[in-house]
Amino acid sequence: MTVTAGLELMPDFGMVPTPALVAYATVLALPGAELEQTVAGELAQNPALIQDEARVCGSCGMPADPPCPYCLAGAARTEATPARDPAGWPLGAGPAAPVSWADAVLRDLRLAVASRDCSIAEAVVASLDDRGYLTARPPELARSSGADVTAVERVVAILRETGPSGVGAYDLRDSLLLQLDRRAIQGVTHPVARAVVADHLDALARGATASIARQLDVPAEQVSDAREFIRRELLPRPDVRGEPGGNDPAIVPVRPDVAVAAAADRPAGFRVEVLEEQRLALRVDPQFRRLARGNAAMSELVRKGDFFLARLRERWSTMRRITEHVVDRRPDLVRGQPATGKRLTRADVAAGLGLHPSTVSRATAGRYVLLPSRRVLPFTAFFDGSLGVRSRLQDIIATEARPLSDTELCDRLQRAGYRVARRTVAKYRSQLRVLPSTQR
């Protein structure tokens, strides 16, 4: 038997991502702050790139000539370089937008963990429910994130230490113990409170202070005092809003990435502007381009600059197309009116624009939209079917003369054009962190 070896060429057809496509996807997925850091790095490494100075509104920090089309302020100032505070952060961060406590927790956790554990941090925060409790144990989180159990436990420990008081607990007892630890660091303690919470929480809920006192071998008055200490110093759920007693949601200054302005000459009555494009104002230096014609090294720098700018323009074009599509499909949400159209999904937007759903997700994740009302919303809010009714519910509660019951809130919403059930109103009220009428 004779064995021979040979080579044979076979045609194979497939999709191979080009360097331009990979760079486009990478740039498209960058949040606004990370994009500005990337641009700063390119400016430092490539002398062919320059950034034009822009006239900046003295009220909202947006690039605009007076009067500012975003806040209608007449004052403006010219800045070649954004003003910075003593720590080096840019000043004039623009309008403030409510950021969910989960996003704020994840932002802080990313700063506290090692870079290799950032994906674990995302999985851990994603497993938190509305109360701030972990819904998955470390082994399950390790399987879902592809990490080691020890690494997950380390991230959970950092979350409990650096996050809001009580966040990252598995249940009420665990949350109260975490809050006791946090209060102890602040010098606020009680001699038997921890023992009561750890071993006698159910009995405490029943009011069995005498039984607890006998088991702990302490006076009943001390257990009663511990119960008052727990009621006064601890919260029944993780402190995701700040220190005990705080009622205001976390407000984080953000710069909107896209603005929607009123425009009578447009079909939907709105004009979409990508504010990133105006803020960055990048271009290749024309003089550098002329000098590069006879210099290979300078020509390479110009080529890299053009390549980077092309990816930025693709990012901004995609953001503009998606925003215009959303505005055309849901002008009621932009105007703050009752929701009248069908719920919009990322798949709907992708199909309408001929894009892949992942492209829509990359272009909208972590982005903020400035509405004509000056309200700043995360882009993901436009894919939330309950946005309109929750916004209207929040307005009703903010202007109520007396605490309204869920039934009364339901009647108000129905008169405003929202067909919702009372239990749905109770759910949305809970999501807005509003207590029942009997406790407000």
Average pLDDT over residues 169-175: 90
DSSP conformational letter for 171: S
Average pLDDT over residues 56-82: 49
pLDDT of the residue at 112: 83
Residues 227-268 pLDDT 10s: 888 888 888 777 665 543 333 434 445 678 888 888 777 766
Strand partners, 96: 253
Residues 396-410 pLDDT 10s: 888 888 888 888 988
Q: What are phi and psi of 13, to 5 degrees?
A: -105, 135
Band of pLDDT at residue 6, cut at 50, 70 and 90 = low
Residue of 438 and 40 predicted with greater confidence = 40
Residues 86-117 pLDDT 10s: 333 333 334 444 556 777 788 888 888 888 88
CATH number of the domain at 387-439, out of 2.40.50, 1.10.10, 1.10.3470, 2.60.40?
A: 1.10.10
* Tokens read off for 235: 């919260």
The mean pLDDT of the chain is 78
Average pLDDT over residues 288-313: 89
pTM for the model: 0.51
Domains of the chain, residue spans: 18-76+93-98+254-380, 101-162, 172-233, 387-439
Band of pLDDT at residue 20, cut at 50, 70 and 90 = confident
**What is the C-alpha end-to-end distance of the chain, expressed in Å?**
92
- For residue 127, give every residue at least 6 positions away whose Cβ sits within 8 Å of its Cβ, in sequence order, or none: 134, 135, 136, 141
CB 92 within 8 A of CB 82: yes
Residues 337-382 pLDDT 10s: 655 556 678 888 889 999 988 898 888 888 888 888 777 778 877 7
Residue of 207 and 316 predicted with greater confidence = 316
Q: Given CA atoms 371, 376, 379, 385 in this order, what sign does their dihedral have?
A: negative
CB 198 within 8 A of CB 179: no
How far CA 360 is from CA of 15, 164, 266, 315, 316, in Å, comes to 20, 32, 24, 11, 12
Percent of the chain with pLDDT over 70: 78
Closest by CA to 23, choosing from 13, 35, 40, is: 35
Inform me whether the pLDDT recorded for 415 exceeds 70.
Answer: yes
DSSP assignment string, 89-151:
PBS---SEEE--HHHHHHHHHHHHS-GGGHHHHHHHHHTB-TTS-BSS-HHHHHHHHT--HHH
Closest by CA to 226, choosing from 247, 185, 198, 264, is: 198
